[in-house]
Amino acid sequence: MEARLVAELPSGAGWQFEPKWDGFRCLVYKNGAEVKLQAKSGKSLGRYFPEIITAIASAPIKRFTIDGELIIEIDGESSFEALQMRLHPAASRIAKLARETPAMLMAFDCLRDKSGWPIVDAALTKRRQALEDVVSGFSGKQRTELTRYTTDRRLALRWLNGGLPGIDGVIAKRLDSPYVSAERAMLKVKRIRTADCVVGGFRYGAAGKVVASLLLGLFDEAGKLHHVGFTSAISGAEKPKLTEVLEKLIAPPGFTGDAPGAPSRWSNARSAEWQPLKPKLVAEVAYDHVTGHRFRHGTRFIRWRPDKSARQCTFEQIASK
């Protein structure tokens, strides 16, 4: 069951709200000694998270299917970057990471109860009780936790506004709804935050010498400007004039710390080329999540900040948010 992005949490009776965790969505199947971890794509995650396979295999309940999120916490913060590092071809590397940064499962739904009986057609209230019955039999070594929930919209709003660190947003589910596979039968509201960033470079579009995206940077304590993401939310009408402004500021190095990388297997050489800029322009952008000191997704351009000095654009803005 998937979620549809909406602008705000629903109001009225009959809703349950849960944190939206920043991890890998995962169905966990247990049938006796056999344990499977399945991603949203249908592919197996088992080889990448051997510690979860071992933990679930040792659980006292023999048959169940639960839905949840695989997460890795580092220094008390959820790290999507640490999850991505697990997708490695070498089993020895995966085993090392499993020891050093073990994952855990945040469980939030139940498809088969502790007797192995399918309950996807049952209401959420019944599935939640079945989930608690399954997970309550686990000990700490099973590396599984129950996600919290509330029917109080005011509390869910506090979570969304920073009252619950480490989450990506809030999920809303109908209390009387069944588990509907492959449909967006839940609602999600993502945490959107803003930051003022230096425009340290830009890329031209593939069709010609008109700006396609702005490369964003933040200063560290040592005064180095690091590339942290991009924004491409520029209207077609604005692009020609903005290109003229940017071209007058072209000057190396652009970024004095981490810089945009070389072409990957997903991009050709032209799409990876970028033009360095003098650190003169400051843009306010909206973002949803930070991973490894970078914006995980493309940001949304809000406005220019001519009132802001480039040196005021520091990592402090996005620390622990």
Compute the distance between CA of residue 202 and CA of residue 280 in angstroms, rounded to an integer. Answer: 13
E strand residue ranges, the chain: 2-5, 15-21, 24-31, 34-38, 63-71, 73-74, 77-78, 104-112, 144-146, 167-174, 184-190, 193-205, 208-219, 225-231, 275-276, 282-287, 290-291, 294-295, 300-304
Residue 56: how many CB atoms within 10 A of its CB?
24
Domain coordinates of the chain in residue numbers?
Answer: 2-190, 193-318
Domain 193-318: which CATH number of 2.40.50.140, 3.30.1950.10, 1.10.1280.10, 3.40.830.10: 2.40.50.140
Please give the pLDDT value at position 201: 96
Helix/strand/coil for 71:
strand
Compute the distance between CA of residue 277 and CA of residue 95 in angstroms, rounded to an integer. Answer: 43
Per-residue pLDDT reduced to its tens digit, 154-210: 999 999 988 887 788 999 999 999 999 988 999 999 887 889 999 999 999 987 789
Please give the pLDDT value at position 78: 81
Please give the pLDDT value at position 163: 84
Residue 300 has pLDDT above 80, yes or no: yes
Q: Which residue(s) pair with 314 in the sheet? A: 219
Q: Which residue(s) pair with 282 in the sheet? A: 198
Per-residue pLDDT reduced to its tens digit, 46-74: 999 999 999 999 999 999 999 999 999 98
- The alpha-carbon radius of gyration of the chain (Å, integer) is 23
* Higher per-residue pLDDT: 302 or 119: 119
Per-residue pLDDT reduced to its tens digit, 81-95: 899 899 999 999 999
Q: Give the pTM.
A: 0.73
Please give the pLDDT value at position 272: 60
Query: Which range in 76-80, 268-272, 307-311 is most confidently predicted, on average pLDDT?
Result: 307-311
Per-residue pLDDT reduced to its tens digit, 234-292: 888 899 999 999 999 999 999 999 999 743 333 444 446 899 999 999 999 998 888 87
Compute the distance between CA of residue 153 and CA of residue 187 in angstroms, rounded to an integer. Answer: 13
Average pLDDT, the chain: 91
Domain 2-190 has CATH 3.30.470.30: yes
Please give the pLDDT value at position 267: 43
Of all residues in the chain, what percent are helix, strand and coil, respectively (each to 5)?
A: 25, 40, 40
- Catalytic site positions: 20
Q: Which pair of tokens denotes residue 217?
A: 């940077």
Please give the pLDDT value at position 270: 46
Please give the pLDDT value at position 105: 96
